[in-house]
Structure 1
């Protein structure tokens, strides 16, 4: 048999080896993450539920899904172990987002200008009818409004 005939098979076997090796590394990392869980850690299950670890056993984990509500889950059902800041941001609604280095990310542009009072928001009260008098912002809406106004004036001239 010629080497050129065997080359596609060798490449295919090599690619399969690399793919299975990568998958095994991911599985080992996930198993290590699950084994390193400690009571008090925030987790996300593979179903998307967030909970706090209360007890860790060989194959199971006792999770507190709500204050005073406990459930037993298989360790394999834990999708991610979250750090405290991320868990509190997601579950408790803490608005402070963190960078990769752990610093707090401001939620407005005041950090760019240095002036924290410069970010005032204009509010429109729609109940008073201010929105009806407001000018349309895009060109198409202006054209439609202009055409409506012209048809009103043409209709008034025809009726006289």
Structure 2
């Protein structure tokens, strides 16, 4: 009996992490499938490549149309959608914030001097890197 205890214990030590890993992987796949099935028009999503977009058309089973900019719609595989992004809601809105947002400041325009090789005035230009062998 003692001769079987050590090999049996060794097999359990190896088998338990494998079983737990496959359960976790199945659970993650089920969550991803549920996410892809729950996508609808107007949802904000992030793709696996890190691009944020809005779902324009989710009627096809294998592909999904994402609007990446106003008027720019691209077609992606549903598996490319990584997660839904909840829109950011600003809870602290007041009348003062609305009045401040009406004032629009114009961006500062830098003037270019021809003697400075096209660099804006006051800009710091780094010297070129040396790539030669020493």
Using the TM superposition, give the Cα deviation of residue 11 of structure 1 relative to its aligned residue in structure 2, in angstroms: 2.0
3-state SS of paired residue (2:41): coil
Give deviations 1:127-160, integer Å, cap 9, x for gaps. Answer: xxxxxxxxxxxxxxxxxxxxxxxxxxxxxxxxxx
Corresponding residue for 1:21? 23
Match of 1:82 among 76, 85, 89: 85
Corresponding residue for 2:73? 70
3-state SS of paired residue (2:25): helix
Q: Which one scores higher on RCO, CA 8 angstroms, separation ≥ 6?
A: 2
What's the Cα RMSD here? 1.8
1:60 and 2:46 matched = no
3-state SS of paired residue (1:84): coil
3-state SS of paired residue (2:49): coil
3-state SS of paired residue (1:2): helix
Give deviations 1:84-124, integer Å, cap 9, x for gaps. Answer: 33xxx7xxxxxx3xxxxxxx479xxxxxxxxxxxxxxxxxx
Any residues of structure 2 matched to 1:92-131 within 5 Å, and which? 96=90, 104=91
List alignment gaps of at least 5 residues for structure 1. Answer: 90-95, 97-103, 107-160
Figure out how many residues of one structure are paired with residues of the other and give that number: 90
CA distance in 2, matches of 1:105, 1:13: 53
In proportion to residue count, which structure has more helix?
Answer: 1
CA distance in 2, matches of 1:105, 1:27: 38
Corresponding residue for 2:33? 31
3-state SS of paired residue (2:42): coil
Using the TM superposition, give the Cα deviation of residue 33 of structure 1 relative to its aligned residue in structure 2, in angstroms: 0.7
List alignment gaps of at least 5 residues for structure 2. Answer: 94-134
Look at both structures and tell me which one has the larger radius of gyration over its CA atoms: 1
Q: TM-score, normalised by structure 2?
A: 0.62
Q: TM-score, normalised by structure 1?
A: 0.52
